[in-house]
Each structure stands twice: as C-alpha cells, then as structure tokens.
Amino acid sequence: MAQEDLNAGLLMFIAYRAMEKRVLDAVAEAGFTDITLAQARVFQRIGPEGTRLGDLAEQAQVTKQTTGFLVDQLERAGYVERAPDPADARARLVRIAGRGRAAGLVAAAAVAEVEAEWAAHLGGRRMAQLRDALSALREITDPYRPGQ
C-alpha cells in the first residue's frame, strides 16, 4: 500500500506509536522496567490534581474493572496513589506518586527528543503547521480537553 493510500488517522497513529515506543523504551532504560504499555496509557491520562477511576476508564476506553486492575498494579509499584476526592467524600482520586513523577520526567524528556527530531526532519515551519493543525483537530475530536 502506497503512503498516499493511507488515511490521515492511520498516518497520525503510526507517528504516535513510534513516539510511544520511544518513550516506553526510554522509561525502561532509566530503570522503570515494570511499567507496561497498558499501564502507561492509563497513567498518561491522570490529571495534575488526580483523576477518578471511572474517568480514567472512559478516557482510556477500557472497562472500569480493567482500569482498576491497572491502577492497582501502578499503585503497588509506587507510580500512583489513591486519595480522597475533596469534591466528593465518597469518591477517590488516582494521583501520580513520587515514582510516577520521576518516570514522567524521563517520559517528558523522551517526548521532547522525538519532537525535536520531527522538527529537524520537517523543518520548523512545517512542524508548527502540524502542531496547529492537530490542535485544531483536537477541538472536534477530544471530549477530554480542558474546558469541556
């Protein structure tokens, strides 16, 4: 199949998967060898103040049971912690713990490295256009973006 035959969604997915692999490889190389792809996909959706388990499940598009299982694993490994939700005493938030913050710094550095490589390949102007276009698409594709 020629590249021009691939739809835009698949092209974005291919680039995303390449970045995702680089990030997970960097995290593992930094000594965080016990985090799986499934765990990372849930972990990356945890907001700065914490996120409820049900919201994580919805955003990750997996069942609440699966999300609970993954969060249990992340909690045992020290990546996340559960805490009371100040907005609802009956609810609990999943928050990033110390080990998770450390792994997150490694992941952020890997993302920056990949984006720098993409910018070098595309050129600054095309990279800026790509980011602008993807940000505009987020307005109509991301129900979890801030402000929604």
Domains by residue range for the chain, with CATH = 3-141 (1.10.10.10)
3-state secondary structure of 133: helix
**Residue 147: predicted pLDDT:** 73
Q: Is the pLDDT of residue 1 over 70?
A: no
This prediction has a pTM of 0.88
pLDDT tens digits for range 89-101: 888 999 999 999 9
At 144, the pLDDT band (50, 70, 90 cuts) reads: confident
pLDDT tens digits for range 102-119: 999 999 999 999 999 999
How far is the CA of 53 from the CAs of 4, 95, 145, in angstroms? 40, 10, 17
At 5, the pLDDT band (50, 70, 90 cuts) reads: confident
Q: Which helix (H) or strand (E) holds 55?
A: helix 53-60
Buried b (16+ CB within 10 A) or exposed e, 48-81: eebbbbebbbebbebeeeebbebbebbeebebbb
How far is the CA of 7 from the CAs of 13, 19, 121, 130, in angstroms? 10, 19, 21, 16
3-state secondary structure of 65: helix
Kindly state the DSSP code that residue 100 receives in the 8-state scheme: H
Distance (Å, rounded) from C-alpha 75 to C-alpha 134?
A: 33
Share of the chain above pLDDT 90, in %: 88
Residue in this structure with the two tokens 């960097």, named with its chain if needed: 26
